[in-house]
Amino acid sequence: MSILAYNGGAVVAMKGQDCVAIATDKRYGIQAQTVSTNFPKVFQMGPSLFVGLPGLATDTQTVFQRLKFRMNLYELKENRMMKPKTFSAMLSNLLYERRFGPYFIEPVIAGLDPYTNEPYVCNMDLIGCPNEPEDFVVSGTCSEQLYGMCEALWEPNLKPDELFETISQALVNAADRDAISGWGAVVYIVEKDKITEKHVKTRMD
Amino acid sequence: MARRYDTRTTIFSPEGRLYQVEYAMEAISHAGTSLGILATDGILLAAERRNTNKLLDEVFFSEKIYKLNDDMVCSVAGITSDANVLTNELRLIAQRYLLQYGESIPCEQLVSWLCDVKQAYTQYGGKRPFGVSILYMGWDKHYGYQLYQSDPSGNYGGWKATCIGNNSAAAVSSLKQEYKENETTLAEAQALAIKVLSKTLDMTKLTPEKVEMATLTRKNDKTVIRILTSTEVEKLIANFEKSEAEAEAAKKQAPKS
């Protein structure tokens, strides 16, 4: 069995009009056994910067802690907030440092530039190859299903509430077609001065 | 006599002194003053800014006050380049602790760790000590608000109010007289800080460009660290000058009655 599919999980992020959204399922399982239904894989790194870390759960926690370490030092030294693009570069570097013994996570980044408020999404593979598209990014054990859902539902310049509907439907329906993702979902809508956190009701199986 | 024993940092003199360490402290006594006061509802650090040359480009916001982590701030006196190295190290120490234990480093631990580093430079390696004294203010869940001072020897102590740098002895004795333990609020401490600084500064007149002040308080279970704006500092100075003028006027009137 693939190590990236040991714990299961799914994360998706989308760009909207002057906003971004990022969503995660809440399942924590050990192969087929579901252990917890409160293990979201998305973490807030800054006032408008989120990172999703689906994959092996221990690496989810460790990479989050190490990212926080590097980000804290950056903000203290440079005395400014980190831009999402810079955060991407830093995460990519962190992962490539472990090129021959990698962290088993395939991260997703979503945020607004702290100075221009431009939306930004990015995903990368487990050794840090970044991908910065103009529309959406997906990751996790049901990434194929997520690609399908997003491609069908996404359109440019969605307003925040429309974006919420789109991303929720994409995540929920993709996770329902995956045995080891689901068991609850959290969606974050990130606008210029407002962050909305919504827990979406899903099939609990 | 001292000449033979002070070229290497790692040798004791016949009288049992470490000359290099003492010379480092001498360097600090010529540097800009920094003082700290512990109040009942918070702590403050105030510092004298020396680099007020008009030609200096304003790049960073604070010359002598550094944030170390979410719960601690420090102020330095001495050789600025040495201070930069030490504050960088302090930030790394704090982050490594956070990574290892998942919680913020307790104040005394951070001070103690850095002091061990400073001490190493007085005993091994043949390198000179750091020419910096540091004042730390911070909050932790074990002991609440705390104020610490460390010097080039690697010695540190916890204080209620203290001062380092130029004229620090005069400042400390002034604080000893005026500071009231468990009765000084942050606002009173700010006024006291301005009063003490005005005595230690070389120039007779205090201006906002010459003073930096930072406060640390707790609100809603989170630490709030604020560097005062020049307008706020100006107001404090204005209040101080007004109370000085009133005291002068009172003195002049008193002999009449």
Q: Is the pLDDT of residue A146 over 80?
A: yes
The whole-number pLDDT of residue B12 equals 86
The whole-number pLDDT of residue B3 equals 61
Binning pLDDT at 50, 70 and 90, where does residue B256 land? low
For chain A, helix (H) and strand (E) counts, in that order, are 4, 12
**Cβ neighbour number for residue A32 with a 10 Å cutoff:** 8
Residue whose tokens read 């930096």: B212
Q: Is there a contact between A79 and B69 if contact means CB atoms under 8 Å apart? A: no
Q: Is there a contact between A73 and B92 if contact means CB atoms under 8 Å apart? A: yes
Instruction: Give B-chain residues touching A66 at CB under 8 angstroms.
Output: 99
User: Any residues with CB less than 8 A from the CB of A161 and at least 6 apart, and which?
Assistant: none
Binning pLDDT at 50, 70 and 90, where does residue A120 land? very high
User: Any residues with CB less than 8 A from the CB of B187 and at least 6 apart, and which?
Assistant: none
Q: Is there a contact between B61 and A76 if contact means CB atoms under 8 Å apart? A: no
The whole-number pLDDT of residue B55 equals 78
The whole-number pLDDT of residue A59 equals 97
Residues in A 18-47 with any Cβ partner in B closer than 8 A: none
Instruction: Give B-chain residues touching A73 at CB under 8 angstroms.
Output: 91-92, 95
The whole-number pLDDT of residue B62 equals 82
Q: Is there a contact between B99 and A77 if contact means CB atoms under 8 Å apart? A: no
Q: Is the pLDDT of residue B1 over 70?
A: no
Calculate mean pLDDT across residues B169-180. 92
The whole-number pLDDT of residue B9 equals 67
Closest A-chain CA to B73: A76
b/e per residue, B174-193, with b = 16+ CB within 10 A? bbeeebeeeebebebbbbbb
The whole-number pLDDT of residue B165 equals 94
Q: Is there a contact between B99 and A66 if contact means CB atoms under 8 Å apart? A: yes
Closest B-chain CA to A71: B95
Residue whose tokens read 């370490």: A69
Q: Is there a contact between A76 and B99 if contact means CB atoms under 8 Å apart? A: no
Residue A66 contacts B where some CB pair is shorter than 8 Å: yes
- Asked if A51 and A91 count as a contact pair (C-beta separation under 8 A), the reply is yes
Instruction: Give A-chain residues touching B89 at CB under 8 angstroms.
Output: none
| Model confidence pLDDT, tens digit, residues B40-61 | 999 999 999 887 777 777 656 6
Q: Is there a contact between A73 and B95 if contact means CB atoms under 8 Å apart? A: yes
The whole-number pLDDT of residue B6 equals 60
Between B88, B95, B102, which is nearest A72 by CB?
B95
Alpha-carbon distance B91 to B110, whole Å? 9
Who has greater pLDDT, B61 or B90?
B90
The whole-number pLDDT of residue A171 equals 97
User: How close does chain A come to B78, measured CA to CA in Å?
Assistant: 20
Percent of chain B with pLDDT over 70: 93
Instruction: Give A-chain residues touching B95 at CB under 8 angstroms.
Output: 69, 72-73
- Asked if B157 and B64 count as a contact pair (C-beta separation under 8 A), the reply is no
Alpha-carbon distance B52 to B29, whole Å? 19
| Model confidence pLDDT, tens digit, residues B2-38 | 566 666 667 888 888 888 899 999 999 999 999 999 9
Through-space distance between the first and last CA atoms of chain A, rounded to whole angstroms? 21
Q: Is the pLDDT of residue B179 over 80?
A: yes
Between A69, A76, A77, which is nearest B99 by CB?
A69
Q: Is there a contact between B98 and A72 if contact means CB atoms under 8 Å apart? A: yes
Instruction: Give B-chain residues touching A69 at CB under 8 angstroms.
Output: 95-96, 98-99
- Asked if A146 and A12 count as a contact pair (C-beta separation under 8 A), the reply is yes
Calculate mean pLDDT across residues B159-180. 93
Alpha-carbon distance B114 to B148, whole Å? 12
| Model confidence pLDDT, tens digit, residues B199-230 | 888 666 788 888 999 999 999 999 999 999 88
Q: Is there a contact between A76 and B91 if contact means CB atoms under 8 Å apart? A: yes
Alpha-carbon distance B167 to B201, whole Å? 8
The whole-number pLDDT of residue A180 equals 95
Closest B-chain CA to A70: B95
The whole-number pLDDT of residue A46 equals 93
Between A65, A77, A79, which is nearest B99 by CB?
A65
Percent of chain A with pLDDT over 70: 100
| Model confidence pLDDT, tens digit, residues A50-108 | 999 999 999 999 999 999 999 999 999 998 999 999 999 999 999 999 999 999 999 99
Instruction: Please state whether A29 falls in left (phi above 0), alpha (psi between -120 and 50) or beta.
Output: beta
- Asked if A10 and A143 count as a contact pair (C-beta separation under 8 A), the reply is yes
A vs B, Cβ pairs < 8 A, gives 24
